[in-house]
Chain A
Amino acid sequence: MVVLVIVLALFFDFTNGFHDTANAMATPIATGALKPKAAVAIAAVLNLVGAFLSTEVARTISGGLIKEGESGIQITPVMIFAGLIGATLWNMTTWLLGLPSSSSHALFGGLIGAAIVGAGFGAVDFSVLMSKVVLPALLAPLTAGLVAFLATKIVYGITKKRQRNGFKHGQIFTSSLVSLAHGTNDAQKTMGVITLTLIAGGFQAAGSGPEFWVIAVCALAIAIGTYTGGWRIIRTMGKGLTEIEPGQGFSAEASTAATILASSNLGFALSTTQVSSGSVIGTGIGRKGASVRWSTAGRIGVGWLITIPAAGLVGALAAVVALSGALGVVIDTVVAVGVIVGIFLSSRRNRVDSRNIHDEPTVLIRPKRGRNQRKADERRRADEQQVAAHTSDSPSNQSVTSNQSVTSNQSVTTNESDRA
């Protein structure tokens, strides 16, 4: 059981890494400040370094959300296992949809679900849930958005148009800072889970810190995940919400970094994902002529709202099965692996990776992008070619038609995404 939890925790760490690459690297990739591959490589190295730098592992898995310890309930490895299944599956699902959602919320949600099944509703401290999760989730994007908005105004007030490419260099530093901060925060969560599991299983003295191998594998897992790159989410963040220019990217990253650093140092933790989404929206409002796709923003917001309940539901289901005995755990494992493989396979039908990251996003990346749509595209293209052939054979005319077909295709795609 302990081995199973550790493997699953490491896989969660991996999904956490590729889910959150976008937070730091979406805007530099979108503005061309960094090549996609280089960006994820930098992020991966900084996450690895960050994981080693900070190993102050939390004393409770859930940070007080679940009444753990002496007076409360005992969180068993089976409950942690079920919670991790909920968190991991939800992370995979949101990745498939290209939605940036908080990995820590997914973990909390999964654990809450498992704890409710394992020990009843009394196990969850709902006032802590409100003050530590729900309200910060509202305040984080608002704070970051407001700051990014002002920063963008300042940038566009001071600089002239031809000077703004210089922001690309600055973006590299601000986004690296966000990556480093992410590494110091997020790898710790998995280290905590694994250490507490080892303690619960009697393999480690209570109250001791993480073993070196735990730190090393957690750091590696998050770094490999980051390098794999959640390209779907990067595309949503970098292109789906608003068109980002270098000046905006710099403002957004500066606000993200400032918000995360200030909040984690002054004891008011905010989710990295929510902060950086807020920054991107704020910078979209701040530049004249930029438009924010509110439909995408709304979809992301809905994703945040249902993260905890959804991960909780999956965690609860997994807990019901797992608590029935050893067979239940096996069933859980098989089903979870099956779903993960299924999600992975369906993602391959519509690949998003470093090569096509700059294409026009269809915002919500649906694996089953209608065959009808594709046929309609082909038909229209064929029609246009016919028209071109009829009207003239001169190269200049042809180039005009091909331009037109490109623009019409694009407008179709945006319409699609707005409607969706």
Chain B
Amino acid sequence: MIDWPAFFVVLVSTLVSACLVVTFYSVGLRLLDTGHGWRRPAGIACFTICALVVLYGVYLVIPYFHQ
């Protein structure tokens, strides 16, 4: 029947990765909006983390990279 452990892994990894991207992007937006002093680089750092996660997604999509 259905592979529950596999499904659980999918659920957890989805939850973690989606929430991670959304959190960093939101924090980044908020930091850049009031962007004085340390807030600006911190905001850019948040966006960079998002970009890295998306790039990791691209890496996962393309089988050529992990064969």
Point out residues on A near B: beta carbons under 8 Å. 50, 53-54, 56, 127, 130-131, 135, 139, 143-144, 146-148, 150-151, 154-155, 158-160, 162-164, 166-167, 170, 173-174, 177, 180-181, 184, 247, 250-251, 254-255, 257-259, 261-263, 265-268, 270
For chain B, residues 33 to 63, give those with C-beta under 8 angstroms from any C-beta of chain A. 33, 50-51, 54, 57-58, 60-63
How long is the Cα–Cα vector from A143 to B9 in the complex, in angstroms?
12
Residues 1-34 of B, flagged 1 when their CB comes within 8 A of A and 0 if not, give 1110011011101110111011101110110110
Contact, CB under 8 Å: B54 / A262: no
Q: Which residues of A have CB within 8 Å of B32? A: 166
Q: Which residues of B have CB within 8 Å of A265? A: 60
Contact, CB under 8 Å: B54 / A174: yes
Contact, CB under 8 Å: B2 / A163: no
Q: Which of A54, A155, A160, A247 contacts B62 (CB 8 A)?
A: A54
How long is the Cα–Cα vector from A255 to B3 in the complex, in angstroms?
22
Contact, CB under 8 Å: B7 / A268: yes
Question: Closest CB of chain B to A261's CB: distance in Å?
Answer: 5
Contact, CB under 8 Å: A155 / B63: no
Point out residues on B near A: beta carbons under 8 Å. 1-3, 6-7, 9-11, 13-15, 17-19, 21-23, 25-27, 29-30, 32-33, 50-51, 54, 57-58, 60-64
Q: Which residues of B have CB within 8 Å of A263? A: 10, 14
Would you give 14 A-B contacts (Cβ < 8 Å), ordered by A? A50-B61, A127-B1, A150-B18, A150-B19, A154-B22, A164-B29, A177-B57, A247-B26, A251-B22, A254-B18, A259-B10, A261-B61, A268-B3, A268-B7
Chain A interface mostly helix, strand, loop or mixed?
A: helix
How long is the Cα–Cα vector from A184 to B61 in the complex, in angstroms?
7
Contact, CB under 8 Å: A158 / B14: no
Contact, CB under 8 Å: A177 / B58: yes
A-B contact count (CB 8 A): 120
Q: Which residues of A have CB within 8 Å of B63? A: 53-54, 56, 184
Question: Closest CB of chain A to B8's CB: distance in Å?
Answer: 10
Contact, CB under 8 Å: B62 / A150: no
Contact, CB under 8 Å: B57 / A130: no
Q: Which of A160, A181, A266 contacts B6 (CB 8 A)?
A: A266
Contact, CB under 8 Å: B61 / A131: no
Closest partner residue, chain A, to B26 (CB atom): A158
How long is the Cα–Cα vector from A180 to B60 in the complex, in angstroms?
11
How long is the Cα–Cα vector from A181 to B59 in the complex, in angstroms?
11
Q: Which of B26, B33, B57 contacts A154 (CB 8 A)?
A: B26
Contact, CB under 8 Å: B57 / A53: no
Contact, CB under 8 Å: B10 / A163: no
Q: Which of B2, B3, B21 contacts A258 (CB 8 A)?
A: B21
Q: Which residues of A have CB within 8 Å of B61? A: 50, 53-54, 177, 180-181, 184, 261
Q: Which residues of A have CB within 8 Å of B26? A: 154-155, 158-159, 247
Contact, CB under 8 Å: A170 / B10: no
Contact, CB under 8 Å: A163 / B29: yes
Q: Take A139-B7, A143-B10 as given contacts and tell me if A262 and B22 are in contact as well, using a CB distance cutoff of 8 Å.
A: no
Q: Which residues of A have CB within 8 Å of B62? A: 53-54, 184
Q: Which of A127, A170, A262 contacts B50 (CB 8 A)?
A: A170
Question: Closest CB of chain A to B5's CB: distance in Å?
Answer: 10
How long is the Cα–Cα vector from A413 to B17 in the complex, in angstroms?
39
Q: Which of B9, B33, B57 contacts A266 (CB 8 A)?
A: B9
